[in-house]
Chains A and B, each alone.
Chain A
Amino acid sequence: MDDFEKELKVGFLEEASQLLADAEQCFLALESNPQDGAMLDKIFRLAHNLKGSSKAVGFEDIGVFTHRFESFLLKVKNGEIPVSSSVISLLLVCNDHIRSMVDILKADLDARIDSSALMEQIESASHGAQAEEGAESADEEPTGLQAVHDVHEEEVFEAPTPEEVELIRLVNHSFDVGVAEVAPVRESAPVVKTVAAPATAPDESIRVSLARLEKLINSVGELVILQTVLREQSMTSNAHLLRKTIHQMGKVTKEVQDISMSLRMVPLKQTFQKMQRIVRDTSGMLGKKVGLVTSGDDTELDKTVLENISDPLVHLIRNACDHGIESPESRLASGKPESGTVKLNAYHQSGKLVIEVKDDGGGIDGVKLTAKAIEKGILKPGTVLPEQEAIHLIFHPGFSTKSQVTEVSGRGVGMDVVKTNIEALQGEVQVETVLGEGTTFKVVLPLTLAIIDGMVVQNEGCRFVVPLSHVHETLKPSSDDVKHTTTMGEVLLLRGENLPLYRLNTLLGHKKSALKAANEQIAMVIRYAGNPFAVLVDDILGQQQVVIKEVGQEIQSLKWMSGSAILGDGKPAIIIEMNELVKPSRKGAA
Chain B
Amino acid sequence: MNHAKNTNSNRERFLSFSLGTEEYAVPLLAVREVIALPEYTPVPYTPSYFLGIMNLRGQVISIMDLRQKLGIKPGVDTETAVIICDLNGASIGVVVDSVNTVLNPETADLSEKPEIQSNRPTDYITGVYRKDKKLILFLDLSRSLSLEDHAAVRKSAEVRAPKAA
Contact = CB atoms under 8 A, between A and B. Distances in A.
Contacts of A219: 58
Interface of A: 218-219, 221-222, 225, 462-463, 488-490, 500-503, 506-510, 512, 536, 549-555, 557-559, 561, 564, 566, 570-574, 584-589
A393 to B, nearest CB: 27
B14 interface: no
A574 B165 contact: no
A264 B158 CA distance: 37
17 contacts: A463-B41, A488-B164, A502-B164, A503-B165, A508-B45, A552-B61, A553-B146, A553-B150, A554-B145, A554-B153, A555-B46, A558-B153, A566-B60, A570-B55, A572-B53, A573-B41, A589-B162
Given A552-B90, A558-B157, A462 B42 contact: yes
Contact of A506 (B58, B154, B163): B163
Given A550-B60, A570-B55, A571-B55, A555 B165 contact: no
B55 A574 contact: no
B162 to A, nearest CB: 3
Nearest to B162: A588
A236 to B, nearest CB: 22
Contacts of A501: 165
Contacts of B145: 554
A551 B150 CA distance: 13
B149 interface: yes
Contacts of B133: none
A588 B62 contact: no
A92 B61 CA distance: 40
Contact of A566 (B42, B58, B157): B58
A512 B164 CA distance: 11
Contact of A551 (B44, B60, B154, B162): B60
Given A566-B60, A572-B55, A553 B41 contact: no
Given A462-B42, A508-B44, A554-B146, A502 B165 contact: yes
A558 B45 contact: yes
A517 B153 CA distance: 32
B92 interface: yes
B45 A553 contact: no
Given A219-B58, A558-B46, A587-B162, 4 more contacts: A502-B165, A552-B90, A554-B150, A559-B157
B60 A489 contact: no
B92 to A, nearest CB: 6
A509 B91 CA distance: 27
B94 to A, nearest CB: 12
Contacts of B120: none
A559 B149 CA distance: 16
B150 A574 contact: no
Contacts of B138: none
Interface string B117-147: 0000000000000000000000000000110
Nearest to B89: A553
Contacts of B90: 552-553
A585 B157 CA distance: 13
A567 to B, nearest CB: 9
B148 to A, nearest CB: 9
A222 B55 CA distance: 10
Interface in B19-72: 39-46, 50, 53-55, 57-62
B50 A555 contact: yes
Contacts of B59: 218, 549
Contacts of B57: 222
A564 B58 CA distance: 11
A552 B165 contact: no
Given A508-B44, A557-B154, A566 B55 contact: yes
Among A509, A551, A554, the most chain B Cβ lie within 10 Å of the Cβ of: A554
Nearest to A464: B41
B62 A554 contact: yes
Contacts of A549: 58-60
Contact of A509 (B40, B92, B160): B160
Contacts of A218: 58-59
Given A572-B55, A585-B162, A509 B60 contact: no
Contacts of B60: 549-552, 564, 566, 572
A231 B121 CA distance: 51
A535 to B, nearest CB: 9
